[in-house]
Amino acid sequence: MCKLIKCELLKLKSMLGAILAFFFPLLLVSIGLLNIYTGSVKISGTSEMWNAIYVQSSSLYGGILFPVFLSALVSLQWRVEFKNNNINNILITDKSHKDIYLSKIFSTFVIAFINIILYIIIIFISVKVLLPKETVKAFIFYGPIIGLLFSLPLICIQHFLSMNFKNFALPLVIGIVLSLPNFVASCYSFSTFIPYSYICKGMFFNVKNSLNVECPIYIFILTALIFVASVSLGTKVFKNKEFR
């Protein structure tokens, strides 16, 4: 399994599209925080500064940018496999179909983890620069990590879609369409039925915010159930699927 994950990561390392997708959300968040630092965006007061640093950046990053990034990443992973019929070359090896499919999911999660860690570092530096006298609040560390865990349903769903559509653009468009409304949808209770909104909800776990984004405990349970169900379905379909 570890060798398969390493192989998946090496494939992504050589893809310009994956590299651009990785840095794009981090770049936009950094630009927004840089505008605050330079005074391009006028903000006064500690509470407003905290709102700008974490609440606004996390609603943008967790609500739109990170889900879109994951959708693009998964689509690119499968584009490589469908190109030159690489997927069939992998399937004739001695590796089990289940391990091959799971390695794709786990490699996506590894890349997502690195992206989240960089996001936490950006937020931490922003707090130390813009609010040097303020104590760093714990939620800037655990919020993004919970958001990362809540990305598992999205990752699994996108892998299932990308596996079944040879045209990589279609799953990508579906992922983008389901991700874009999250910025607003996460504020309402019906977002419970939209797994793509769980990332934003997770980033606001136990975080008071003016956007009214809440993360009830049952979202943890739903995330686990959707993850297990989607992985089980995906591995079963992948095992019996004929790629042409």
Q: Which range marks the domain in which residue 200 is found?
A: 2-240
Percent with pLDDT over 70 in the chain: 94
Distance of alpha carbon 134 from alpha carbon 128, whole angstroms: 8
pTM of the entire structure?
Answer: 0.90
Q: Across residues 205-213, what is the average pLDDT?
A: 85
CA 107 from chain centre, in angstroms, equals: 12
Instruction: Give one DSSP letter per residue of 64-89, joined into a string.
Output: IIHHHHHHHHHHHHHHHHHGGGHHHH
Query: How high does pLDDT run on average in the chain?
Result: 86
Distance of alpha carbon 85 from alpha carbon 160, whole angstroms: 18
Tokens coding 232:
């089980």
Residue 87 pLDDT > 70, yes or no? Answer: yes
Tokens 């009830």 belong to 216
pLDDT at 39: 64
pLDDT band at 227 (very low <50, low <70, confident <90, very high): very high
Residue 2 pLDDT > 80, yes or no? Answer: no
pLDDT band at 11 (very low <50, low <70, confident <90, very high): confident
Give the residue among 157, 154, 158, 226 at the shortest CA–CA distance from 197.
154
pLDDT band at 42 (very low <50, low <70, confident <90, very high): low
Tokens coding 221:
């349970």
pLDDT at 202: 95
pLDDT band at 35 (very low <50, low <70, confident <90, very high): confident
Q: What's the CA dihedral at 58, 61, 63, 69 to 10 degrees? A: -160
Residue 244 pLDDT > 80, yes or no? Answer: no
Q: Which residues of 92-126 are buried (b: 16+ CB within 10 A; e: fewer)?
A: eeeeeeeebbbbbbbbbbebbeebbebbbebbeeb
Distance of alpha carbon 198 from alpha carbon 190, whole angstroms: 12
pLDDT at 236: 93
pLDDT at 45: 58
Domain count, the chain: 1
- In angstroms and rounded to an integer, the radius of gyration of the C-alpha atoms of the chain is 19
Tens digit of each residue's pLDDT (9 = 90 or more) over 144-182: 999 999 999 999 999 999 999 888 899 999 999 999 888
Longest dimension (CA), the chain: 62
pLDDT at 212: 83
Instruction: Give one DSSP letter per residue of 195-215, joined into a string.
Output: GGGHHHHHHTTT---TT----
Distance of alpha carbon 75 from alpha carbon 162, whole angstroms: 6
Tens digit of each residue's pLDDT (9 = 90 or more) over 100-110: 999 999 999 99
First to last CA, the chain: 25
Are 56 and 32 in contact by the 8 Å Cβ rule? The answer is yes
